[in-house]
């Protein structure tokens, strides 16, 4: 059994995954980090050089690999749920947790995270909060269908989010 975190960029998947892994004594894997490591370039550079379909191919390959690991915490990229084969692999993982926040909160968090901003491409021509709203609108139902648990991260620290996940998943 694993914990798999899904949700939009800026919901805290990577940070919360590390906290959960430390508390459970499990390894953690961030799908985007694994992709960048294997590809030898950032996600933004993959998009620029090869296009989104090539990135999604990388993503599907990595999701399938991570799905084969047992007792770990996985932080999936925001778009990992877009392809049906990824959804099927994620569904076999165990507890799938959808982390959520308002578009305004996501935009504030993304703006404040200077470490990852250069590595992340815009997903729509508009970028910014307009992109966040459009992406959430397009993916919300897919996230909902994939998740067994939903956790609102709005106004919560990463530790509080991790505690809420452990309590809902009955792992504490």
d(CA 4, CA 159): 17
Q: How many other CB atoms are found less than 10 A from the CB of residue 121?
A: 15
pLDDT at 78: 92
List pLDDT tens digits, range 91-134.
Answer: 887 799 999 999 999 988 888 877 665 566 655 566 778 888 99
Could you tell me if 113 and 57 are in contact, meaning their C-beta atoms sit under 8 angstroms apart? Answer: no
- Is the per-residue pLDDT at 12 higher than 80? yes
Residue range 50-70: mean pLDDT, rounded: 94
Pairing between strand 73-75 and 149-152?
A: unpaired
pTM of the model: 0.91
- What CATH architecture is 2-167? 3-Layer(aba) Sandwich (3.40)
């Amino acid at each position: 059994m694993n914990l798999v975190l899904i949700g939009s960029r800026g919901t805290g998947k990577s940070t919360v995954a590390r906290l959960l892994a430390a508390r459970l004594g499990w390894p953690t894997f961030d799908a985007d980090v694994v992709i960048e490591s294997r590809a030898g370039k950032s996600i933004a550079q993959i998009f620029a050089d090869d296009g989104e379909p090539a990135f999604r191919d990388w993503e599907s390959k990595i999701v399938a690999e991570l799905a084969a690991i047992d007792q770990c915490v996985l932080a999936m990229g925001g778009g990992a749920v877009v392809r049906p084969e990824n959804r099927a692999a994620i569904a076999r993982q165990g507890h799938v947790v959808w982390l959520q926040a308002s578009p305004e909160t996501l935009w504030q968090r993304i703006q404040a995270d200077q470490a990852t901003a250069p590595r992340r491409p815009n997903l729509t021509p508009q970028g910014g909060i307009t992109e966040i709203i459009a992406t959430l609108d397009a993916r919300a139902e897919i996230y909902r269908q994939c998740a067994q648990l939903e956790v609102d991260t709005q106004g919560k620290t990463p530790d509080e989010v991790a505690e809420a996940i452990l309590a809902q998943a009955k792992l504490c």
